[in-house]
């Protein structure tokens, strides 16, 4: 399929969450938070899908002429914040198991947390 007829004045909604977590594209563990996915080459299904996003086959920042103009700024901002934090603090996991809520915004929480409030318990120490 290369085109779809869309009548004038039709509202079209793109499901970014569905695209970013589609098991047919990302595999059966698509709803799991796995940053290590991007440390190896992408599966063929991801590459062959041709998701038009501006970053790593994801629709998070959309793509093409309507892509987010703040995309590069958001990356730079996170790199600056992380570089400052890592230079001053040591971060270690706590003894609580962390799971990821895969909703409109992916948020961490702990196993058994019944509230919608995100949680990410860490042990933070000053670097000597």
Q: Average pLDDT of 60-70?
A: 83
Q: Average pLDDT of 82-101?
A: 92
Tell me what pLDDT residue 91 has.
Answer: 93
Which pLDDT band holds residue 87 (cuts at 50, 70, 90)? very high
Q: Strands (DSSP E) along the chain, which ranges? A: 89-93, 98-101, 107-110, 122-126
Range with the lowest mean pLDDT among 46-60, 62-76, 113-127? 46-60
For the CA atoms of 99, 100, 101, 103, the dihedral, rounded to the nearest 10 degrees, stands at: -170
| 69 φ/ψ sector (left φ>0, alpha ψ -120 to 50, else beta) | alpha
Tell me what pLDDT residue 6 has.
Answer: 94
Rounded to two decimals, the pTM is 0.58
Half-sphere exposure of 104 (CA within 13 A, CB side): 2
Q: Above 90 in pLDDT, residue 81?
A: yes
Which pLDDT band holds residue 119 (cuts at 50, 70, 90)? very high
Q: Average pLDDT of 33-58?
A: 82
Q: Average pLDDT of 81-92?
A: 94
């Amino acid at each position: 399929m290369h085109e779809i007829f869309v009548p004038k004045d039709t509202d079209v909604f793109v499901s970014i969450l569905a695209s970013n977590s589609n098991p047919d594209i990302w595999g059966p563990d698509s709803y799991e938070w796995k940053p290590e996915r991007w440390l190896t080459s992408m599966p063929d299904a991801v590459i062959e899908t041709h998701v038009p996003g501006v970053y790593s086959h994801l629709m998070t920042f959309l793509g093409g002429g309507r892509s987010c103009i703040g995309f590069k700024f958001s990356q730079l901002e996170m790199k600056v914040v992380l570089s400052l934090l890592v230079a001053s603090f040591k971060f270690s996991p706590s003894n609580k198991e962390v799971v990821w809520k895969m909703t409109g915004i992916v948020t961490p929480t702990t196993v058994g947390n019944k509230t919608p409030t995100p949680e990410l318990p860490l042990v933070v120490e000053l670097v000597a």
